[in-house]
Every structure is written in structure tokens, then in C-alpha cells.
Amino acid sequence: MTIDRRTALLATLATLAVPLAARAAAQTAAPEVPGAAPIAGLPGPDLVIDLWPGIAPGMPARPPIEQVKERSPDPGLNDRAVLGITRPRLAVFRPEVPNGAAVMITPGGGYKWVVVDKEGYELGRWLSASGFTVFVLFYRLPGDGWKAGPDVALSDAQRAMRLIRARARDFAIEPERVAAMGFSAGGHVCCDLVARFAARTYDPVDAADRLSARPYLAAPIYPVQSMHLPIAHAGSRALLIGKNAGAALERAHTPAENVTRESPPCFLVHAEDDDTVPIENTLQFRAALRAQGVATETHLFTNGGHGFGIRRVVGKPAGAWPDLFVTWSRAMGLI
């Protein structure tokens, strides 16, 4: 981006400034299992920010009911998942010394739910320790009947990117330097944002929606990407576009078929032995980006399976991916 564009963006942000304390009032709490005590030594988010003023757009006639499930048998290790999200929101992890960059994370969950810990809070803690301000997005789910249908999670991702930029001064970040990172079905949200950041998926609600939703760069990690069988993840596909979706709907929601030369650079990670989301999802996305002249960094690991995040690849070659991301993001000018 040029200095002129940066100056224009900062000027726009000046019109959006609202004190942090005022904005923090009456925000929805982070997802929690009722009655569960926090695990010592595993801090939660510093702040939670609702995406939408009032009710999120396109509420179903029968709104879902938010629930949080704890799936871990280990009392010393959380593995929570939240479903029925009606108040999409950002859980914020702030670093002690901000490096001026932000990462918005979209965790996975097969579009059935959004995982909290393995692909959300654990990355939030790790990246914030490296100086990033991290925003974990709890996005609405397409199977819950929202008016936006298969675009509902993308709507939340677009809105989140704009809201982060609108509040950049609150968090000591440069408004341009906001990256996106997503895992599994959250990787589909991330890839969709790479491809369709400028698509109008909702009506503007305030001045923040004048800002760009384009990430500075993106990191889809073992992403659900294609909606074409047999490489599509069947469960995500069914919840996003329906089991009997036709070719046109598949193409519309396969990010590799929608990337453009304006798509941001991407850092791609997948394991060769992933038997849940075939590696062809990443390979096809990489080929599409390269065909458009978009810079890519790709890491394919022999072992790792699916859904490894950080915790499942400790001590394995795939465990290097977070450090590789930081090194690459520095080379790309994010930090």
C-alpha cells in the first residue's frame, strides 16, 4: 500500500475514534461453560467486542441458542466448542509490548460449531507473546438459518476486519497491518475473505463499514476450501451450501475459483496425512493464487493429521509452523 492510501485511511479513522471504555460497556461475555472454573495459568481474553450494534443482521425466525461444550476429558486442558452463536464477537489478546500488527483468527469446527481453545485462545496467547494483538472471531454459523445463508460467516469476518481497523488506535496497531488466520472450516472463512473481501454481503451499519476488509496477508491453515466433492469436507459443505448444492453454488463458495490479483499474500500449511480435509484443498488454492500472481508461502508436512493447531504437533516438524509464520510475516512487512 502507498503512503497516500495510508494517510487517507488514518484520516478516516480519526472520524471513528471513540474512547475504549465507552465502547467496552455492555459487551457480550466470552464463551464459557456454565459453572466451570478457569484453569490456572491459562489466561483468557483481555476484552470482548461485539461485532454488530444491537442484533446481528438477518436473525432467523427461530434464533439459535448459544451453548458451550467442553470436549476435553483432561481437567487441566480445555477443548471447548461454541454453537448457536447469535452475538458474533471478537475475543482480544493484547501483548505487553505491541508490535503494531494484528491477527484476526477464525477457528475451525466444521461449520457445526466454533472451537474456542485449540485453534483460538492457544494461538491468541502464543501470538500475543510475540507482540501481535490477536482477535479471535466467534462467527455465526450458516446452518442456523441466517438471512445471509452461506455468506454469514464471511459477513462477520468482513465486519470484524473493518471494526479492528476502526479501533486501531485503541490497541496501538497500524490499521493497514491486520492479518487473517483461519483453521479448517475457519480456514474456509479465511480463504473466502482472501477471495471476496470486497463482496457486499451485508448492508453498512456505521462508519467502520467504509474501511477495507482486505487482510494485509492471510494464513489459511489446513483449510476447508473446495466445495467440490470428493475433496470437499462433506460436513462443512452440507452446512454451508447443502448436500444437494449444484455446480454454480459450489463454484461461488470455492475460494480458489474466486481469487483475484487483489487478493492478499498467503501463508499455507497442511499435513500430507490429513484424512479429514484432503491436502488438495490447499494445493488448489495455492495454484489459484499463483495463477493470479499473488505471493504465497507453502509448508506441507508429512505428519500432523487434521486439526493440530499448536498442541498436537509439539516436538514434530509441523510444530515449526507458528515460528515460520512469524518469520514470513516479518519478511512481508506485517511486523
pLDDT value at position 306? 97
How open is the CA angle 52-133-163, to the nearest 5 degrees? 20
Distance CA(275)–CA(266), nearest Å, equals 23
pLDDT at 12 over 80: no
| Strand locations in 58-191 (E) | 67-70, 80-83, 89-93, 102-106, 114-115, 133-138, 178-183
In this prediction, residue 16 has a pLDDT band, given cuts at 50, 70 and 90, of very low
Which three cell numbers mark 277? 480435509
Distance CA(224)–CA(222), nearest Å, equals 7
pLDDT at 105 over 90: yes
Within a 10 A sphere around the Cβ of 5, how many other Cβ atoms?
Answer: 11
Distance CA(269)–CA(312), nearest Å, equals 14
Q: Where are the domains of the chain?
A: 3-12+43-331
> Residues 40-50: pLDDT tens digits?
778 899 999 99
Supply the DSSP string of 159-215, one letter for each residue: HHHHHHHHTGGGGT--TT-EEEEEETHHHHHHHHHHHHTTS--S---SGGGGS----
pLDDT value at position 35? 80
pLDDT value at position 25? 53
| Contact status, residue 306 vs residue 275, Cβ threshold 8 Å | yes
pLDDT at 10 over 50: no
What is the pLDDT averaged over residues 271-293? 98
The domain defined by 3-12+43-331 folds into: Rossmann fold (3.40.50)
Q: What is the pTM of this model?
A: 0.92
pLDDT at 13 over 70: no
Per residue, the 3-state secondary structure of 227-244, as one string, reads: CCCCCCCHHHHHHHHCCC
pLDDT value at position 319? 96
In this prediction, residue 210 has a pLDDT band, given cuts at 50, 70 and 90, of very high
Percent of the chain with pLDDT over 90: 87
- Per DSSP, 143 falls in state G
> Residues 57-81: pLDDT tens digits?
999 999 999 999 999 998 888 999 9
pLDDT at 3 over 50: no
